Structures are given as structure tokens and as C-alpha cells.
């Protein structure tokens, strides 16, 4: 039994805010759905399972209803909406049930004072009331909401230039030392098509917008003072500067600290004067950032145990950048820093895992479409239908063994050695890449097979060097799915929207172009956001594997794992607590509470609009 979810568009007014009426109706819908699922057994069965109307669980349901009525000034609202459902299941209506006991009368018949507190009070109350309804075992899972700078209106050539510049960095990156290389085009890590989130650092905590990047290892933010750091952003976000002197929990990482040697891009020259463990990131186009490592608190939401706990914290080492050069000094697409999720020792996921805060695994679900968004979770996702393939060992990036590509059951005529991992070949999964790139020898067979499969229904054209198609009907009805076949028997099935991008319209027709690009002169295949979107992607670093499953990223996910500090097995790390269909009936009651949490964690009360980007002139 899954949760009942409703699209965010049904909750939001034209100004991007959640309306009070909509959230009340959605909460009611969630309660009705799950309470009904519990009580829809016959009376004998209910008693066997402990679901009799006289049991404390029913009283807890009534408690939630009463608190909702009183605290948000909607006396009788939930009784009216839900009472008939309970009565039809053989349980008395809420008003009759409350009147049947003096003790209950004392609890539930207190005077309700209508208030115009609006949705915020309703949200807080639902969490508090729901927490009383269930006891669940569990540790902690960490969760961040993601935002996305859209690539609507940006031509493929611009996205390709941005990706190629990035690939010049990640493909030549070494585990340590200073990186210096030549790249094509203009490097700009904050160009459109990237996902970013907010993190809280320091004491008292300050919020920073950081880009999510599985192609790098270190979390770094701009610090005060900073030479060349932008002070404003074209993303319409307020940039912040971290000041170690203003945080009571900040401490410098000295050069003698053994953790300094494990830091990516550590610069020995930074140790000469102040014994600070320094770093330098240099890029071939002349841009770069440098600074020093510090240790301070990072804050996060945790879900587990008996309640939702916000702003839990843990000490982590991160970069404090004091100088930017080149394109990093520009403000049009600036954010506060980069959140690296690589495998090196100073990545946040590695640090939190070593401290026993979270399992050595993380997952992201990047929502497709122009508005983007998604969720980032530290913990092991256990949603059904996830398939896994092994990571290639001893690689600085998330390399996997792609073995073949098939369309309509036919394997394309591509030499398997094209995909083998070596110093110059291999397949990388990278959330910082917007499009997808096939090794040069694989690109032409791929495009040829797609074109032949749709030749009777579309008109192939070349547009600015890109293979495009003019179509007059739904792209999903014309183009075939594509199977990427990996080691271990795992396949990633791509819908047409996962390898095509709509570029324009001509009269009654639409022009769709290949989102897969040829990696000219390169033997590397890179799977970026166009492929990863609308999927749960699981990075299991303990098991050295990557998994995925198609998923609606507006829903919650269930995370279950054991931290390195745990002594027992089977500890549950709830994120937003969706339970899969195989859950036993003993978990049904938990769904009432979990469904409310899922709703609340997916909604921002008056959320910041996702920024839509315009192409650079």
C-alpha cells in the first residue's frame, strides 16, 4: 500500500504559495485514505489485528482530528470531512465517539479559539499531533531539497560548451595535487541545467546555496574576506560569505593534521605562513578558486525514532574559499559554493559515514521538466525495482561498466571495447553534466539506429550540427525506448524524453534534437542529468555499486540502512517515510503519521520560485 500523493500544482496559488484551503483538503485526503485502509476489515478481523474502535489507536486518530480542529480555527472541519468515513467502517462518528467518555470529553471538548494563523500553524500542528500516533525504530537520515536552474530556451550548443568545459576538469582530475589543463569553450560551473541546494554551516547557522556535484569531492563555500568573489547573483538568490571568526564552533585544519594530506587539491604553499591546510582548484581557462580547510558544524533535517528532528548537526571539514579568478568572479550565475559528493575522504558523505551519522550511501532524485527540483538523501534507499551495477574500483569518479546499447531488442553494432574502462575510456555517471555524451565510436551507430526506427514517422534534419527530427505527434508514441546494458545484468531504460530535447516548434510540428552528443576525440561516455532525471539514483559506497529506478521525484522515498556506528542490523532511516507495497499490516498505522510527514516535507509554505535562466548573449 503506497501513499496518496497529489501534484504540487494543486496546492499552489499563482504566486507560488500554498493556500490554506488546499493544504487542509490534502491533509484530510491523506488521513481518510490511510485510516480507511486500516479499518476496512470486518469487525472480527479488526479485533484480531488490534484495530478495534475501542483501542488506543482509534483514540490517537481522534486526538489528531481534535487538535487540527482547535489549533487552526477550523472547529468541526475534520470531524465533518472524516466522520462519515469512520462511521461507514463500523466505528462511531467523531462527535459521538468524543461524547461517549468523560475522559475524552475533558481531552477533546476544550474550548476552541478560532485563529487566523493560516497554513503555518496547521503544518506545525500536524507534525506535533502525528508524532503522538506512532512509535517507530530508527536512526537518522539526512535530507535536502533540491532546486534547479532550468535550461529552457538555451540552445544545445551552449549546453554542450558548458559540459565540455566541465569534462576537461573532471576527466583530468587527480586524487591529489594541483589540476591544470586545457579546455574548450568557457568554463562556468553555474550555467543553466544544474541542481543546487541549501546547507547550513557554522554556529549560529547560516544558509548557503551550493551546487550538487558528484564529479568532485569537497564542499566549499566563499568566505570573508574574498578576492574576486561575486557579491550578487543572476539567479536572484542572496549570496552569503562564511566568516570563521563569527562561528563559535569553527576551527582551522592545520597542515600537520593527517586529514590535510587526504584533501583533494591540497596546496602545500598554503601552509608556509599560518599553518593552514590550503587548497587550490585551477582550470584551464584561467578560472579557479583557492582557500583553506576548516572544521565546523553542518546542520540537516533528520527523520527517525519517534519524531521529526530538525537542525541536527555534525562537525565536518569543508573548504573556505578566499579567492576566485576567471569566470568564477562573474555574478550572472553565481552561487555560494559546490557540494562535492565524490568518494574521497574529505567528501561530506565520507565524513558523516566515518562519524556514524549516516550510512556510506546517498541518493538523489532529480525532477525533470522545466521547473526541476528534487531531493537529496544520505542513507540507503530501499524502494522496489532498483537495479544495481558495480562501480569500477580505484577510479576518482563514479565509473560503471556499460556493456552494450540496445533498441527494440537489438544490440547496436558497437565494439564492446569502446566502453571498457581505462585511462582514456569508460562510462561516468555525473550529476553535474547537463546532457549525455557517447564515446565517438558509439555515437554514429546510436543515431543511425534511432533514425531508422522512426524514419517513416518523422523528418530528420540537421540543425546547427545537431541531429534533430520534425514530428507532428507525441514523441513518446514515435520514438523507441533505449536500453543501456551494464555489468551485473542491470539495464537503464530510457524514454524518448531521456535522450531527446525539444528545441522549437514549426507551425503544427515540434523539433526534437538529440540530447546525446558525440564526445569528439574522446573514448569516454558520460551520463548526465538528461539521463538521470526522474530516477532515484543510489550511490552505495559501502557496497561499491550504483543503482537506479524510474521514479516520480515529487514523492517521498524510504531509506533503510545501518550506520557504521550501529551495532544492530535492520535499522530504519526514514526520509519522508513512504513505505513500499510489501509492508505488513503492522505498518499500516504508521502510514497515517508518515503520509503527513511526506506531505509536509515536500511542501515549502511560500516557496522560492525555481529560477528560469536565459542564455548568455
Mind telling me the catalytic residues?
A: 213, 430
Bridge partners of 338, per DSSP, are: 211, 220
C-alpha cell belonging to residue 349: 558523505
**In sequence order, which residues have a C-beta less than 8 Å from that of residue 135 and are 6 or more positions away?**
306
Name the pairing type of β-strands 523-527 and 425-429: parallel
Burial of 484 (0-12, 13-18, 19+ CB in 10 A): buried
The residue length of the chain stands at 617
- Cα distances from 293 to residues 215, 250, 254, in angstroms, run 19, 11, 8
- Cβ–Cβ < 8 Å for 278, 300: no
- Cβ–Cβ < 8 Å for 222, 336: yes
The percent of the chain in helix, strand and coil, each rounded to the nearest 5, is 30, 30, 40
- Cα distances from 10 to residues 14, 132, 365, 439, 534, in angstroms, run 11, 28, 21, 43, 20
- E strand segments, 244-287: 251-252, 266-267, 278-282
Bridge partners of 339, per DSSP, are: 212, 219
Burial of 175 (0-12, 13-18, 19+ CB in 10 A): middle
- Cβ–Cβ < 8 Å for 279, 270: yes
Amino acid at each position: 500500500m503506497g501513499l496518496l500523493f497529489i501534484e504540487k500544482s494543486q496546492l499552489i496559488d499563482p504566486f507560488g504559495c500554498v493556500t490554506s484551503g488546499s493544504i487542509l483538503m490534502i491533509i484530510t485526503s491523506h488521513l481518510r485514505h490511510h485510516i480507511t485502509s486500516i479499518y476496512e476489515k470486518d469487525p472480527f478481523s479488526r479485533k484480531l489485528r488490534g484495530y478495534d474502535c475501542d483501542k488506543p489507536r482509534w483514540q490517537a486518530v481522534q486526538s489528531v482530528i481534535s487538535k487540527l480542529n482547535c489549533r487552526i480555527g477550523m472547529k468541526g472541519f475534520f470531524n465533518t470531512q472524516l466522520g462519515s468515513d469512520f462511521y461507514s467502517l463500523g466505528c462511531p462518528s467523531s462527535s459521538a465517539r468524543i461524547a461517549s467518555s468523560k475522559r475524552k470529553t475533558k481531552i477533546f471538548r476544550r474550548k476552541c479559539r478560532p485563529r487566523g494563523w493560516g497554513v503555518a500553524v496547521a503544518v506545525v500542528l500536524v507534525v506535533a499531533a502525528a508524532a503522538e500516533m506512532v512509535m517507530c525504530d530508527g536512526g537518522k537520515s539526512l535530507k535536502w531539497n533540491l532546486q534547479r536552474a532550468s535550461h529552457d530556451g538555451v540552445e544545445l550548443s551552449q549546453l554542450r560548451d558548458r559540459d565540455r568545459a566541465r569534462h576537461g576538469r573532471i576527466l583530468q582530475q587527480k586524487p591529489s595535487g594541483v589540476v591544470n589543463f586545457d579546455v574548450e569553450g568557457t568554463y562556468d560551473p553555474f550555467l543553466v541545467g544544474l541542481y543546487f541546494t541549501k546547507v547550513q554551516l557554522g554556529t549560529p547557522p547560516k544558509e548557503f546555496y551550493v551546487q550538487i556535484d558528484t564529479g568532485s569531492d569537497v564542499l566549499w563555500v566563499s568566505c570573508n574576506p574574498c578576492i574576486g568573489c561575486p557579491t550578487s547573483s543572476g539567479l536572484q538568490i542572496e549570496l552569503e560569505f562564511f566568516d570563521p571568526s563569527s562561528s563559535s564552533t569553527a576551527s582551522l585544519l592545520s597542515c600537520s593534521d593527517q586529514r590535510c594530506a587526504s584533501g583533494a587539491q591540497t596546496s602545500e604553499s598554503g601552509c608556509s605562513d599560518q599553518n593552514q591546510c590550503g587548497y587550490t582548484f585551477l582550470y584551464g581557462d584561467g578560472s579557479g578558486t583557492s582557500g583553506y580547510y576548516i572544521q565546523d558544524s553542518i546542520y540537516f533535517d533528520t527523520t527517525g525514532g519517534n519524531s521529526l528532528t530538525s537542525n541536527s548537526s555534525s562537525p565536518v571539514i569543508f573548504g573556505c574559499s578566499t579567492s576566485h579568478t576567471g569566470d568564477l568572479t562573474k555574478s550572472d550565475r553565481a552561487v555560494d559554493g559546490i557540494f562535492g559528493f565524490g568518494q574521497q575522504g574529505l567528501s561530506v558523505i565520507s565524513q558523516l559515514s566515518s562519524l556514524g551519522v549516516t550510512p556510506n550511501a546517498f541518493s538523489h532524485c532529480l525532477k525533470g521538466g522545466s521547473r526541476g527540483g528534487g531531493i537529496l538523501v544520505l542513507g540507503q534507499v530501499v524502494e522496489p525495482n532498483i537495479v544495481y551495477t558495480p562501480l569500477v574500483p580505484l577510479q576518482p569518479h563514479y565509473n560503471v561498466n556499460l556493456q552494450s546499447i540496445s533498441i527494440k531488442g537489438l544490440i547496436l553494432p558497437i565494439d564492446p571495447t569502446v566502453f571498457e574502462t581505462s585511462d582514456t575510456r569508460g562510462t561516468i555517471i555525473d550529476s553535474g553534466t547537463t546532457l549525455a555524451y557517447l564515446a565517438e565510436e558509439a555515437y554514429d551507430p546510436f543515431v543511425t539506429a534511432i533514425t531508422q526506427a522512426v524514419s517513416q514517422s518523422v523528418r530528420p534534419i540537421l540543425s546547427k550540427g545537431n541531429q534533430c527530427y520534425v514530428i507532428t505527434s507525441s514523441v513518446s508514441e514515435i520514438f523507441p525506448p533505449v536500453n543501456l546494458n551494464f555489468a551485473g545484468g542491470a539495464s537503464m531504460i530510457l524514454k524518448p524524453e531521456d535522450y531527446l530535447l525539444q528545441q522549437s516548434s514549426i507551425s503544427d510540428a515540434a523539433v526534437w534534437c538529440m540530447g546525446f552528443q558525440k564526445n569528439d576525440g574522446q573514448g569516454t561516455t558520460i551520463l548526465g542529468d538528461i539521463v538521470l532525471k526522474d530516477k532515484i539514483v543510489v550511490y552505495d559506497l559501502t557496497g561499491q555499486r550504483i543503482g537506479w529506478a524510474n521514479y516520480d521525484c515529487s514523492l517521498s522515498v524510504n531509506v533503510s540502512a545501518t550506520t557504521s556506528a550501529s551495532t544492530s542490523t535492520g535499522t530504519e532511516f526514514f526520509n519522508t517515510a513512504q513505505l513500499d507495497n510489501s509492508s505488513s499490516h503492522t505498518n499500516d498505522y504508521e502510514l497515517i503519521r508518515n503520509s503527513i510527514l511526506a506531505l509536509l516535507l515536500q511542501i515549502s509554505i511560500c516557496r522560492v520560485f525555481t529560477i528560469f535562466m536565459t542564455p548568455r548573449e
